[in-house]
């Protein structure tokens, strides 16, 4: 084949080779195979997104992704055994747990029984099982087809989990989805998680990610969330990925009428992260709250990209993101509020605030409004700067050492976003993550 027109990066070539090698072994050959092929063809055409693509201007995957590690295989039993022994920051929380190891659901180390109204299906099995109707009906329905990360995930997905929550189900314990990367060789993973919740459901979903340090593995997970009408859903994503990890992830949600959805995202560990949240407010009168904290050090690069689509009237949305940057870290916040013409009486507000602690750190902020309805109140704000020196001086004049004074101010800064999390235990865990990060930083400073 002659590559006359398209110049591929080394990584892109490796990805092409991976697909060629695995496409016939991946699950769901018959029915799902053509979807896979279509998704991959689309990737083949565009390649890895780069800075000339508007949505990827600040996160150039073509230059950031230096390699394409082999696809993770279904973990062997001794790997699963090790996985069961891990400690998690959420261990004190009483939750129903689902465990994914290297992108594959493992029933044996997940909670033994599921609460009433909750049904769990392994995506690995569902892919080649036409009777898993809900999976096949919903897959890809919450996502924007043009997104390159989702296309890649669709092309390579081989594992994950489908969680169905029947209408009227109100869970008293949170559901926790634990995604663990375990191993000593770099691998890449493309798990797909579907959460299909009916009308009048109430639940909290925790998503925890953990992986080994000093291992350059790559994760490209996609979570699709379908929320019915009049549901109340809380979601918190904790990211303890390894420090060399490339963590790409997408949360795509469709929100029904009168439903409230509150989702919180923390990024502090991975070397390179792009975290996408796409929410479509499909039913009238829904309320959405998307918040997060990114704390970056060293040469970390973390990108949070939101697209909030007001596609129905009288919905409200609130977004608050805080970024703390030290050393040579790069932060990116892109947040778009879209208001369709039908979405009259929309009320949308977005805020991104960043603190730069080092002259070598960089912050790129791109909040965006795209409005086609006239009876709306929408706004966004963005600020970026160093810590307030007057306040710092005030605290130091009261006897606090500089590092402590800074930590106090930064904890308060991050705390504003953490306050949006309703669950007290989760708030405490998030505050502890902030505390640890600040503690380590203070250690470096002194």
Partner 1 sequence: MAAVQDTIDQVKAIDVDQYKYGFSTELEVDKAPIGLSEDIVRLISAKKNEPEWMLEWRLDAYRRWLTMREPEWARLDYPKIDFNEIYYYAAPKMNAAPQTLDDVDPAILETYKKLGIPLREQEILAGVQTSKVAVDAVFDSVSVATTFKAELAKAGVIFCSISEAMREHPDLVRKYLGTVVPVTDNYYATLNCAVFTDGSFVYIPKGVRCPMELSTYFRINERNTGQFERTLIIAEEGSYVSYLEGCTAPQRDENQLHAAVVELITHDDAEIKYSTVQNWYPGDKDGKGGIYNFVTKRGDCRGKNSKISWTQVETGSAITWKYPSCILRGEGSRGEFYSIAVSNGRQQVDSGTKMIHLGKNTTSRIISKGISAGHSQNTYRGQVSAHRKATNARNFTNCDSLLIGDQCGAHTVPYMEANNASAIFEHEATTSKISEDQMFYCQQRGLDAEEATALIVNGFVKDVLQQLPMEFAVEAQKLISISLEGSVG
Q: How far is the CB of 54 from partner 1 (least distance, A)?
A: 6
Q: For helices 10-22 and 148-156, give the axis angle rounded to 10 degrees.
A: 30
Contacts of 82 (CB under 8 A, 6+ apart): 182
Q: Alpha-carbon distance 220 to 209, whole Å?
A: 12
Phi (first) and psi of residue 9, to 5 degrees: -75, 165
Q: How far is the CB of 374 from partner 1 (least distance, A)?
A: 4
Q: How far is the CB of 371 from partner 1 (least distance, A)?
A: 5
439 lies in the binding site for partner 1 (CB under 8 A): no
344 lies in the binding site for partner 1 (CB under 8 A): yes
Q: How far is the CB of 388 from partner 1 (least distance, A)?
A: 10
Q: How far is the CB of 267 from partner 1 (least distance, A)?
A: 19
Phi (first) and psi of residue 303, to 5 degrees: -125, 125
383 lies in the binding site for partner 1 (CB under 8 A): yes
Is the Cβ of residue 240 or residue 334 nearer to partner 1 in the bound state?
Answer: 334
Is the Cβ of residue 56 or residue 264 nearer to partner 1 in the bound state?
Answer: 56
Residues 284-303 that bind partner 1 (CB under 8 A): none
Q: How far is the CB of 373 from partner 1 (least distance, A)?
A: 6
3-state secondary structure of 74: coil
71 lies in the binding site for partner 1 (CB under 8 A): no
Is the Cβ of residue 216 or residue 344 nearer to partner 1 in the bound state?
Answer: 344
CA angle 103–107–111, rounded 5-degree value = 115
Q: How far is the CB of 212 from partner 1 (least distance, A)?
A: 32
* DSSP secondary structure letters along 190-206: --EEEEEE-TT-EEEEE
327 lies in the binding site for partner 1 (CB under 8 A): no
Is the Cβ of residue 54 or residue 172 nearer to partner 1 in the bound state?
Answer: 54
For 59, which DSSP code? -
Strands 192-197 and 160-165: parallel
Among 120, 327, 382, 395, binds partner 1 (CB under 8 A): 382
What is the CB neighbour count within 10 angstroms for residue 440? 11
Phi (first) and psi of residue 309, to 5 degrees: -105, 105
Q: Alpha-carbon distance 264 to 430, whole Å?
A: 10
Residues 352-381 that bind partner 1 (CB under 8 A): 354, 356-381
Please identify, among the stretches 6-14, 69-77, 197-205, 383-391, the one whose residues bind partner 1 according to the rule CB under 8 A. 383-391
Is the Cβ of residue 37 or residue 371 nearer to partner 1 in the bound state?
Answer: 371
384 lies in the binding site for partner 1 (CB under 8 A): yes
Nearest Cα to Cα of residue 334 among 252, 272, 276, 269: 276
Q: Alpha-carbon distance 191 to 117, whole Å?
A: 24
Q: Are 324 and 356 in contact (CB under 8 A)?
A: no
CA atoms within 13 A on the CB side of 155: 26
The number of residues that bind partner 1 (CB under 8 A) is 36
146 lies in the binding site for partner 1 (CB under 8 A): no
Nearest Cα to Cα of residue 278 among 145, 431, 103, 444: 145
Q: How far is the CB of 47 from partner 1 (least distance, A)?
A: 18
Residues 36-65 that bind partner 1 (CB under 8 A): 54, 57
Q: Give me the 245-284 binding string for partner 1, x by CB under 8 A, dash otherwise.
A: ----------------------------------------
341 lies in the binding site for partner 1 (CB under 8 A): yes
Beta-bridge partner residues of 265: 237, 292
Is the Cβ of residue 85 or residue 359 nearer to partner 1 in the bound state?
Answer: 359
445 lies in the binding site for partner 1 (CB under 8 A): no
Contacts of 237 (CB under 8 A, 6+ apart): 206, 207, 209, 249, 251, 263, 264, 265, 266, 275
Q: Which residues bind partner 1 (CB under 8 A)?
A: 54, 57, 341, 344, 354, 356-386
């Amino acid at each position: 084949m002659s590559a006359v027109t398209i110049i591929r990066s080394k990584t892109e070539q490796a990805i092409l080779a991976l697909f060629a090698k695995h496409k016939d072994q991946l699950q769901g050959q018959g029915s799902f195979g053509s979807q896979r092929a279509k998704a991959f063809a689309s990737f083949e055409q565009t390649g890895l997104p780069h800075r000339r693509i508007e949505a990827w201007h600040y996160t150039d995957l073509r230059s950031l992704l230096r390699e394409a590690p082999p696809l993770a295989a279904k973990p062997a039993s001794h790997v699963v055994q090790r996985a069961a022994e891990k400690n998690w920051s959420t261990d004190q929380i009483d939750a129903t747990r689902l465990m994914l190891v290297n992108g594959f659901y493992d029933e044996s180390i997940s909670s033994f029984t599921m609460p009433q109204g909750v049904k769990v299906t392994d995506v690995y099995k569902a892919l080649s099982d036409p009777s898993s109707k809900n999976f096949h009906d919903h897959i890809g329905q919450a996502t924007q087809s043009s997104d390159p990360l989702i296309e890649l995930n669709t092309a390579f997905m081989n594992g994950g989990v489908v969680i169905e929550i029947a209408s009227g189900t109100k869970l008293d314990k949170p559901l926790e989805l634990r995604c663990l990367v375990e191993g000593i060789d770099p691998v890449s993973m493309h798990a797909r998680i579907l959460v299909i919740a009916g009308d009048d459901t109430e639940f909290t979903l925790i998503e925890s990610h953990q992986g080994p340090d000093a291992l350059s593995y790559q994760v490209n997970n996609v979570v699709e969330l379908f929320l019915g009408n009049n549901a109340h859903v809380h979601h918190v994503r904790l990211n303890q990925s390894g420090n060399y990890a490339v963590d790409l992830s997408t949360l795509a949600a469709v929100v029904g009428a009168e439903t409230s959805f509150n989702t919180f995202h923390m990024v502090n560990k991975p070397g390179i992260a792009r975290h996408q949240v796409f929410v479509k407010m499909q039913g009238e009168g829904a309320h959405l709250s998307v918040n997060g904290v990114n704390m970056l050090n060293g040469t970390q690069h973390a990108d949070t990209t939101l697209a909030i689509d007001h596609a129905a009237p009288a919905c409200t949305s609130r977004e608050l993101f805080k970024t703390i940057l030290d050393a040579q870290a790069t932060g990116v916040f892109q947040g778009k509020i879209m208001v369709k013409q039908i979405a009259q009486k929309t009320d949308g507000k977005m805020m991104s605030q960043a603190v730069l602690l080092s002259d070598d750190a960089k912050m790129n902020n791109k909040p965006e409004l795209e409005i086609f309805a006239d009876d709306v109140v929408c706004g966004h704000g963005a600020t970026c700067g160093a810590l307030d020196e007057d306040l710092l001086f005030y605290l130091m004049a009261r006897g606090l050492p500089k590092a402590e004074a800074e930590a106090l101010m930064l904890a308060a800064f991050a705390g504003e976003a953490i306050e949006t999390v309703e669950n007290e235990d989760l708030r405490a865990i998030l505050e502890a993550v902030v505390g640890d990060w600040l503690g380590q930083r203070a250690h470096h400073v002194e």
